[in-house]
Amino acid sequence: MKETYDWILNKLPYSDPFLFVHEMLDINDTMVKGSYRFSPKLDFYQGHFKNDPITPGVILTECCAQIGLVCLGIYLLGQKTKLENFTIGMSSSQMEFLLPVLPGERVRVVSNLIYFRFQKLKCEVQMYNEDSKLICKGVLAGMIGVANE
């Protein structure tokens, strides 16, 4: 039976139209894998290159951060606390974009932990398309912690 990660998805501090996680594929103390399909109906496609829309790099970065940092952070913190009052914020990003993501494409994000200490989480992320071609890669960092526990 496939393990469910609904408890992580239910703790995400996002909702449509700014939720960029559809499925958690795997997670442990040092890595996370998840996926998202970019609906052609998303508003930013209306103006991001007339008649030839692609997904903005900032949105690809956000998708990598939601899966690669936030989901992993929730998993790591959730092993030690109830996560009633957690906070999250990205502190740095360094991304390289190699391929475009078109409306309707499904992407897979893989994130590997660099470190998690003093409430700072830093990960190396990669995003792949359905043909397993590398779309973008980089290093993301954020602050995540639990307030008043």
**Digit-coded pLDDT (tens) for 12-43:** 888 888 999 999 999 999 999 999 999 999 99
Stretch 33-60: mean pLDDT? 91
> Which CATH class, in words, describes the domain spanning 6-146?
alpha beta
If you ran DSSP here, which 8-state letter would residue 83 be given? -
Stretch 61-85: mean pLDDT? 85
Q: Tell me which residue of 123, 124, 126, 90 sits closest to 108, measured CA to CA.
A: 126
In terms of DSSP H, where are the helices of 1-132? 6-11, 57-65, 72-78
In this structure, which amino acid lies at residue 123? C
Domain ranges across the chain: 6-146
Q: In this predicted structure, what is the pLDDT of residue 1?
A: 44
Q: In this predicted structure, what is the pLDDT of residue 140?
A: 97
Q: Assign residue 148 a region (left: φ > 0; alpha: ψ between -120 and 50; beta: otherwise).
A: left
